[in-house]
Structure 1
């Protein structure tokens, strides 16, 4: 099942994309697709309503697609989680997950413009598999318990400003939390439809030229391990998002490759999770 939010910024309505391509509004079931909806069994209610044929159809033509999850409580990110990406940046392959946080207000829609920060000369791209939490994960006993805590998956662009990230501070936050730096979507795809999260192809192109072409099978730490690991150090709550890392091919790791400039377009895709596209503009 594919859940989405459509409409102008701040006025999105919750919806579901059916297998036949039709879109149905969920306003009779919930005010939004958020942590409360996920925690209260909202996905099961949508599935039942779809089976009953009781949901009203909506024409999405011309409507903006927003991030599929409203107001995530936190965005937890994993750095250097693909061996080839660690190698291209000159970093050691980590023995434990590299964890950092990203301001949740960076989350925008999958086709929204991304703002290049003032003073930026190294705005970079990162296609990532995002995990959306659907049930509280707190001190999970082992990675096998993680699957029950995952509501679904989405495409994430973990946009980064490398000078801010690596040269201005010992922390990565300054280069990760700039306005609009986390396009998410177009859909939240439930695990039964998303397929094996350990075998999904990821691709990213800049101005039509492929820069990243990877596969989640090359993750150092897979998604279930990451949910388990993070639950030992923080409580993961419904609606939280985990960005699970990016494969090789970022500008940082490609000497001579230009960083993003105004007017550049970036297109991202992950098997089964759709496609997103952004144009970059100066803040």
Structure 2
């Protein structure tokens, strides 16, 4: 398994080219890796490539990268079959929607395609890494790599270990995270890990405060940004993550940890009405097209 001079794997495969997957692809491209993006259809693959290109354009405008997007996109290959992932790929990151059956299917297919030294990872923000590992032939090479949105700007990667995760694999992934210019934390697999558990708890309480008329979404966010130095208020962050995503995570945590994570009725209603946050233009805040968080 080769690595680039910058310390990242020579080849990285990312399964899923949505917002998170495209951000992970962009991050590895700008750090020198060759990247294979796996999508279900040619149309989805092209859309994923477009998201990566748009992200590189924004990074160039902000002075975050020196080269034109085309220079990075030369190292991006798109495929529609997991079996097309090169056997010598150093790292496979699964970034498909938070459905255990879907994640298990793509991870087992990836394991069949790659060599024995390839590290397999899931970008899950809440699902059990232990349960996902149980479907693999070699669970020791699997862990969670929880990136944050937007991936290129976020400094944290939460590494989640299952009971069978090999310590050498953890060490290798920690090195790769550092080579990406990010900081890692290592947590034991538990419902919501560290970040989702704390972040969702704060976000749900903020939603309850709106529901009870305690304060407006803007004032609640300002309180946390200025009073507690949070870079972004909990309701603006909920809009960025997606209310539907927050609802799914809250429902999972409520099943695992109890009623303190029960989703507020306001959250359920907004999701049912299609007010999902930034991606629909309306959540707890109104978002203009193209507006950045």
Query: Rg bigger for which structure?
Result: 2
- On whether the aligned pair clears a TM of 0.5, the verdict is no
For this structure pair, what is the TM-score category when the shorter chain's length is used for normalisation? under 0.3
Instruction: Pick the structure with more strand per residue.
Output: 1
